[in-house]
Amino acid sequence: MTAFPTRFMRSLALCALLGVASCAATYKNHGYMPLDEDLQNLIVGVDSRATVDDLIGAPALSGISGEGDYYYVRSRKRTFGMFRPQEVEREVLAISFNADDTIANIERFGLEDGQIVPLARRVTDNSVVKAGFLRQLLSNIGALNPADAFGG
């Protein structure tokens, strides 16, 4: 009779231990950030885009065109149990270039520097505003040509 309570308490303790361990926070790292030692080798106004590519590698993000600025982004997200992942660390390295492809500036931004960017909503004006769905549907009936249906 004494073996059952001992075994029950051990399995209960094991379940509690597994429950606590499953609720531990997990962290995921995303992106790439060049090492500070490699960045110190870059000289503003002297080194070119090709030098940046050779020393620290091409970024995953660049400006709108192929000749745009370079952006290196690294972030760390924490997931805790069933809750939505939360970004706890973000670092952005921006390397801008002059017209002659030499480095103009090297800047670092962190999560604390982040700002909300308002997105401009542009709506294309169309001619459907005045006509309802049924009016549009019925207006197409007169535009059908039966000869087109038979290849004539």
In the chain, % helix, strand, coil (3-state, to 5) comes to 30, 25, 40
Chain-wide mean pLDDT for the chain? Answer: 78
Query: pLDDT digit string (tens) for 27-77?
Result: 899 888 898 888 888 888 898 888 988 899 888 766 655 567 888 888 899
pLDDT in tens, 124-136: 555 555 667 777 7
Q: Is the pLDDT of residue 1 over 60?
A: no
Mean pLDDT of 83-107: 88
d(C-alpha 40, C-alpha 52), whole Å: 11
Q: How confident is the model at residue 25 (pLDDT cuts 50, 70, 90)?
A: confident
Looking at residue 79, its pLDDT comes to 87
The whole-number pLDDT of residue 120 equals: 47
Lookup result for tokens 């009936």: 141
- Distance (Å) of CA 140 to CA 22, 74, 80, 146, 150: 61, 54, 56, 13, 18
Q: Please report where in the chains the tokens 């090709």 appear, as a residue.
A: 50
The domain spans of the chain are: 30-113
* Cα gap 88→86, rounded to integer Å: 6
User: Does the pLDDT value for residue 83 go beyond 60?
Assistant: yes
